[in-house]
Structure 1
Amino acid sequence: MTTTSEPPLQLTAGEQLVRPSTSLGVFSRPRGDTGWKSWLFTVDHKRIGIMYGAAALLFLVIGGIEALLIRLQLAVPGGNVLSEDAYNQVFTMHGVTMVFLVIMPMAAAFANYLLPLQIGARDVAFPRLNAFSLWAFLAGGIFLNTSWFLGGAPDGGWFGYAPNSGLVYSPSNGMDFYALGLQIAGIASLVSAINLITTVLNMRTPGMTLFRMPVLTWMLLVVQFLLLFAIPVITVALFLLSFDRLFDANFFNVAAGADPLLWQHLFWIFGHPEVYILILPAFGIMSEVIPVFSRKPIFGYPFMVFSGIAIGFMGWGVWAHHMFTSGMGPVSVAAFSLSTMFIAVPTGVKILNWLATMWGGRIRLTTAMLYSVGAVAMFTIGGLSGVTHAIAPADTQQTDTYYIVAHFHYVIFGGSLMGMLSGIYFWWPKMFGHKLDEKLGKIGFWVLLIGFNLTFGPMHILGLQGMSRRIHSYAADSGFNLWNMFATVGSFVIAVGVLLFFWNIGVSPPPPPRAPPGGAPPRGGRRPGGGAPPPTPPPTKQKKKNDTQR
């Protein structure tokens, strides 16, 4: 046994000051508040949320340009704006961009910025993983779009149906970019989902019980659970596709004995929960905006919460209504027809509660309120056309026609995107300290609404007349000429509405040099519990002293 003359370790009592910012070196929390490096290396949830939103708006421009090219090609019979191959790439990338690179990151922007603030948390549970999610998403989006310059973009549709996604029908590298790019973006979504779930469950301020949380927080929490279980499914499908294309596997090769419906099942088990991943954040936003400008609390708060949870659960049981014409058999068709009808019930509860909130209220039709009311109306139209798909004979007629295109856009564009535009106008003062111009915002809303209905309303008629989706051109005697011209004109009206939105961002007055540290909640909202108002915009760094969270 060895003895030493060193004294034993002395442990001092009392409070000890630990400075991890100096002891962790490069792993310390970034402290800069100004300059481009403060944005590049930030782990602050508010700045990450703003960057998610900025990236989503950038991809909105790209996806919008792709949409205009599609409509120019179909404006007249026998259009020659795009070749057949280029058309396949453009409509595929339009769908991929709008679903995965616009709506999803826009929802992530609201989740990152607002969710910690609404539950009283200093930041998300894992700030560095939050930053990783942002940059992984951007990497996936940039990787997908580099395919335009590296041999051609994906051309198998945003849904990537086999065998169209295989080497026989898609010999270029486009679908390889599709498979790998979506896996990268999926990693970002999965990490973010775990992060936000942990934040809500473990970091609520004392007294913030689950059923005191705002409806937006609840809807975002449901979305994170949907992502947590849906992303692994599409990841498996994309791995199988990659192995088929790159390593001569036979997961989707029918000639080698594969099941041609395997991809459809995997994709739509992810794909239909994905619809609610896209729409539930907008539901939460509308549930915040409508009560404020109706001067009434939300009608039936518990029903709003439980209907959102019910949508999340029931969304896993309706995927096969996308496959009624695939030969599944009458028992499966009947079962999924019933489940599709049932899922309309919790959605209808939300619509009725929004209407009841406005009923008898002192309504102020601000830009944010107009977008929320417009989103409710457009989503209701899309929902009603969706219920027709629960009826198998009607669905058989409508499958793969422009009726489906119209339905999907009324739900996702009319419901989700317009709801998120409402949120941008509503929370812009919170984020940047000044309002967007109301007059210009209202003009932009009406232009966008008119253009939207002018574009997608006629597609219901085109679909019922038999115009197939994903066709490059059509004959002059097909009877599709008039409504396609209407849709093309409407798409450019939408473009004007979007340009007015960006113009509003550019011309709205900047914040005053020194805004007061607090004040009344924006636009007359209520502050639960009273007390000193938080600063607007919130500071980049939150105080840590006496910060007790659960």
Structure 2
Amino acid sequence: MATNEMQAQALNETGGGKTSFAISMLFPLFRATLWGLTGYFAAAWITAALLGSVIVNPLPATVGYIVGLVGWLMGSGLWEGWIRRAFGGAEAPAYTGVERYFRFGPDSKSTAVRYVVFNVVAFFFAGLAAMAIRVELLTPDSTGWWMSTIHYNMTFGIHGLMMLLAVAASVIVGGVGYYLVPLMLGVRNVVFPKLLGLSWWLLPPAAFAVFMSPTIGGFQTGWWGYPPLAQNSGSGIVFYVLGAATLLTASVLGAINIAGTMVYMRAKGMSLGRVPIFVWGLFAASTILIVEAPATFTGALMDLSDMILGSHFYTGPTGHPLAYMDQFWFLFHPEVYVFALPAFAIWLEILPAAAKRPLFARNWAIAGLVGVSMLGAMLGVHHYFTAVSPARMPIFMTFTETVSIPTGFIYLSAIGTLWGGRLKINAAVLLVLMAMMNFLVGGLTGIFNADVPADLQLHNTYWVVAHFHYTILGAVIFTWIAALYWWFPKVTGRKINEFWGKFHAWWFFVFFNCTFFPMFIAGIEGMNRRIAIYLPYLHGINLFISISAFLLGAGFLIPLANLVYSWRRGEKAEPNPWGSKGLEWQIKSPTPYIPFPEGTEPEVVGPNDNYAAGSKEPFVWVSTPSK
């Protein structure tokens, strides 16, 4: 088991150049952009010239993306910060100041902050796509006054893919998890810090490619990429596949770090039974990605091969489109638990500290987190009951409904923790309680999607849209904002404005439910999803949904303004404003570059979520023998 002493050497060998702040900050981003764009256009033009084609065709676009991605990564600092050493050169020193947030480096905390910024930007643009969708649905027929049906298909495809893989997949795992895992485990960094740093630098070009896909023809498949429609879609489907594969790669690199850090780098005395519940949630999510992402990643590349190389994995006389669906949903239903399990764990991390009660049934809660991750791989078929043989239906219906059992363990743990406690409700706690209520609605309505007779009636209706948004937006995004509020003092040393935090929580809760609960009704009434046209009798409810969605979207400017203002001018926070027993709160805030002082390390002597009267502190500080 690694100790702080073992990690100190690498992290203390840091330095930095003497160049001015502006140059050292902006140069890697400028160079990465220049090398990336130059690599893309040069490779695409050369490939097109050799083939007698144009650069927007699938093969030139694919080669251009790969070369451009390599150029972007090298320009970000990957060459001098990691790869140059393999060729006998000197490795650049790691920056310890503000510059580290703008270049490739080994610091997990700066990587996590970059994830937060990326998630906010991606959420903004994917949210604009959602607003464009609701503008189109203000009228029953596609009159072309706003967008054509072709552009509507592109828009909801981009919205879906970006919200899932560029936002939900990393808002908690990335921005929150990568920052807190080392601190909660009592170590100075993750097990593979440069691999974690690389994961973030994969995100911007992948997201940019997906957003720019309409410039080379777009794609008509939605966010699924189903063949044979993918092969008959626009050339932009290439950017969809490559962008999705790159985003998945980034998620897997992070998952390897979380799992490896938990297994190999815990502080002295931290047995598995004493690992913080949030880390357990991240570990459960990481195992899903490590085990199941390769199948879906391979399916995406095989789909791409059918497009650019003429293979017939899923198309033609020897292809089998249903095989793609099996590979796709092998991950993309469990991917929902990659989003949700860390959110559940945040509930169980925050509520004991807020209620000053021990975490109820801790071991059962851990069993619930692990149980959901294990069952998740068996559930994907319920997404396409309409396309499978009757023999498969009862098997996967049973597995899908069974996942409610370990989920129930988590809810019972949360309710038992609150029972009899004196809950101090701040903005973060309020959002957690709202997230629990939202996910309860999403989970209960999901039972109908798992039940074959009901699913055959509700499939591809707005019932499914409502259910999905209750589980992801209603639970994960609510919890993400709660986590930003809760750990904001740890990162910045300041508090958020509680009034505006609570004001937004209620705004978010009211207009979220006004937007998505009517979709259950619209779905039952026959409103199909994924299309821009609907029957006139559904106009009234769609008008109400769209107006609510506009107000919901506008409300997200409130937490953004709150966080930015509080970062600069917020009230200074005391070292442990919530009275938490988590190890991350036992060190200085904001967190220094090397969080645990050299010469000392924490030793764990009890669980960090026992708030019973008279319970002892879970950590003691011990001296590390000097060399």
Normalised by the length of structure 2, the TM-score is: 0.79
Task: Note the C-alpha offset of 1:382.
Answer: 0.3
1:246 paired with 2:308, answer: yes
Tell me the residue number matched to 2:389. 328
Which whole-Å CA distance do the structure 2 matches of 1:362 and 1:20 have between them?
Answer: 47
Task: Note the C-alpha offset of 1:39.
Answer: 3.2
- What are the superposed Cα offsets for residues 395-415 of structure 1, whole Å, 9 maximum, x if unpaired? 000101110000000001101
CA root-mean-square deviation: 2.3
- What are the superposed Cα offsets for residues 239-268 of structure 1, whole Å, 9 maximum, x if unpaired? 111011111111221x41322311111111
Tell me the residue number matched to 1:13. none
SS state at 1:480 partner: helix
- What are the superposed Cα offsets for residues 144-188 of structure 1, whole Å, 9 maximum, x if unpaired? 22324x32433311122222212x2x0x22110011111122222
1:439 maps to amino acid: F
Task: Note the C-alpha offset of 1:28.
Answer: 4.7
1:139 paired with 2:197, answer: no
Q: Do 1:29 and 1:43's aligned partners in 2 also have CA atoms closer than 8 Å?
A: no
1:51 paired with 2:114, answer: yes
Task: Note the C-alpha offset of 1:202.
Answer: 0.9
Counterpart selection for 1:522 from 577, 589, 608 = 577
Task: Note the C-alpha offset of 1:336.
Answer: 0.8
Which whole-Å CA distance do the structure 1 matches of 2:491 and 2:456 have between them?
Answer: 47
2:591 maps to amino acid: P
Q: How many residues align?
A: 520
- What are the superposed Cα offsets for residues 257-288 of structure 1, whole Å, 9 maximum, x if unpaired? 32231111111111111110111111111111
Tell me the residue number matched to 1:7. none
Change over 3 Å in CA distance of 1:405–1:250 after alignment to 2 = same
1:177 paired with 2:235, answer: no
Task: Note the C-alpha offset of 1:237.
Answer: 0.7
Which whole-Å CA distance do the structure 1 matches of 2:279 and 2:516 have between them?
Answer: 31
Which runs of 5 or more residues in structure 2 are unaligned? Answer: 1-8, 16-83, 604-627
Which whole-Å CA distance do the structure 2 matches of 1:440 and 1:136 have between them?
Answer: 34
SS state at 2:331 partner: helix
1:217 paired with 2:279, answer: yes
Q: Do 2:100 and 2:110's aligned partners in 1 also have CA atoms closer than 8 Å?
A: no
Where does 1:358-373 land on structure 2 (aligned, <5 Å)? 358-373=418-433
Task: Note the C-alpha offset of 1:20.
Answer: 5.8
1:345 paired with 2:438, answer: no
Tell me the residue number matched to 1:291. 352
SS state at 1:369 partner: helix
Q: In percent, how many aligned pairs have the same letter?
A: 30
Task: Note the C-alpha offset of 1:26.
Answer: 4.4
1:314 paired with 2:367, answer: no
SS state at 1:522 partner: coil
Tell me the residue number matched to 1:31. 95
Q: Do 1:445 and 1:497's aligned partners in 2 also have CA atoms closer than 8 Å?
A: no
- What are the superposed Cα offsets for residues 282-329 of structure 1, whole Å, 9 maximum, x if unpaired? 111111112222221221111111100000101111111112111322
SS state at 2:554 partner: helix
Where does 1:24-423 land on structure 2 (aligned, <5 Å)? 26-34=90-98, 36=99, 39-79=102-142, 80=144, 81-107=146-172, 108-148=174-214, 150-166=215-231, 168=232, 170=233, 172-253=234-315, 255-329=316-390, 331-423=391-483
Change over 3 Å in CA distance of 1:110–1:527 after alignment to 2 = closer
Task: Note the C-alpha offset of 1:542.
Answer: 4.0
Task: Note the C-alpha offset of 1:541.
Answer: 2.8
1:212 maps to amino acid: R
1:481 maps to amino acid: H
Q: Do 1:124 and 1:196's aligned partners in 2 also have CA atoms closer than 8 Å?
A: yes
Change over 3 Å in CA distance of 1:296–1:85 after alignment to 2 = same
Task: Note the C-alpha offset of 1:543.
Answer: 5.3
- What are the superposed Cα offsets for residues 400-439 of structure 1, whole Å, 9 maximum, x if unpaired? 1110000000001101111111111111111111111110
Tell me the residue number matched to 2:510. 450
Tell me the residue number matched to 2:544. 486
Change over 3 Å in CA distance of 1:512–1:57 after alignment to 2 = closer
SS state at 1:536 partner: coil
Which whole-Å CA distance do the structure 2 matches of 1:313 and 1:323 have between them?
Answer: 21
Which whole-Å CA distance do the structure 1 matches of 2:373 and 2:265 have between them?
Answer: 23
Task: Note the C-alpha offset of 1:361.
Answer: 1.1
Task: Note the C-alpha offset of 1:473.
Answer: 1.6
Which whole-Å CA distance do the structure 2 matches of 1:291 and 1:389 have between them?
Answer: 33
Q: Do 1:321 and 1:336's aligned partners in 2 also have CA atoms closer than 8 Å?
A: yes
Task: Note the C-alpha offset of 1:190.
Answer: 1.8
1:127 maps to amino acid: P
2:560 maps to amino acid: F
Task: Note the C-alpha offset of 1:31.
Answer: 3.3
Q: Do 2:495 and 2:570's aligned partners in 1 also have CA atoms closer than 8 Å?
A: no
Task: Note the C-alpha offset of 1:103.
Answer: 1.2
Task: Note the C-alpha offset of 1:32.
Answer: 3.5
1:311 maps to amino acid: V
Q: Do 1:44 and 1:541's aligned partners in 2 also have CA atoms closer than 8 Å?
A: no
Tell me the residue number matched to 1:11. none
Change over 3 Å in CA distance of 1:511–1:547 after alignment to 2 = farther
Q: Do 1:203 and 1:549's aligned partners in 2 also have CA atoms closer than 8 Å?
A: no
Which whole-Å CA distance do the structure 2 matches of 1:21 and 1:295 have between them?
Answer: 40
Tell me the residue number matched to 2:560. 502
Change over 3 Å in CA distance of 1:543–1:359 after alignment to 2 = closer
Normalised by the length of structure 1, the TM-score is: 0.90
Q: Do 2:14 and 2:96's aligned partners in 1 also have CA atoms closer than 8 Å?
A: no
Tell me the residue number matched to 2:76. none
